[in-house]
């Protein structure tokens, strides 16, 4: 007997524990899809990296982090990447006007972005949300 559940959450630590497959949406549009073990390993869509960087860790002195170049959210465009306005890696005219293509990574993992898989594998700098925590990148976390 096979069971399927639709589990919706921003808590990616919990999603990692309960899901075999993950779909990451931003403003109602898919930006990354695939087996959990692949989605949680680089490369990430910049929005997935943002969500993963915000996962609280039970380490004294560490706090949730945010993108270094966080900007305010405006109206989601009809065309182009929906994450364009907040993305630290945006390609100004391309990302704003052209819908991003799907990039196919290993094992059924797909990322919808104008950046290449090689560019997506480069770390995004994130800052602590609270002044006491050290700065890290989204990829400093151990992967299992």
pLDDT value at 131 more than 80: no
pLDDT of the residue at 134: 46
Q: What is the mean pLDDT of residues 17-27?
A: 92
Question: 99: cis peptide before it, omega within 30°?
Answer: no
Residues 86-128: pLDDT tens digits?
888 899 999 999 999 999 998 999 999 999 999 998 887 665 5
- How far apart (Å, rounded) are the C-alpha atoms in residues 19 and 36? 7
Q: What is the mean pLDDT of residues 131-141?
A: 47
Assigned fold of 12-137: Rossmann fold (3.40.50)
Nearest to 85 by CA among 122, 127, 50: 50
Q: What is the mean pLDDT of residues 8-21?
A: 88
pLDDT value at 64 more than 90: no
Any idea which residue has 């399927």 for tokens? Answer: 4
């Amino acid at each position: 007997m096979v069971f399927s559940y639709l589990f919706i959450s921003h808590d990616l630590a919990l999603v990692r524990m309960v899901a075999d497959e993950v779909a990451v949406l931003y403003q109602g549009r898919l930006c990354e899809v695939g087996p959990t073990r692949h989605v949680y390993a680089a490369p990430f869509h910049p929005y997935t990296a943002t969500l993963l960087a915000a996962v609280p860790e039970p380490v004294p002195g560490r706090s949730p982090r945010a993108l270094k170049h966080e900007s305010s959210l405006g109206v989601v465009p009809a065309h182009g990447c929906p994450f364009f306005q907040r993305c630290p890696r945006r390609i100004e005219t391309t990302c704003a006007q052209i819908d991003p293509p799907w990039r196919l990574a290993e094992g059924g993992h797909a990322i919808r972005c104008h950046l290449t898989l090689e560019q997506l594998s480069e770390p995004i700098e994130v800052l602590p949300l609270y002044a006491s925590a050290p700065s890290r990148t989204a990829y400093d976390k151990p992967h299992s």
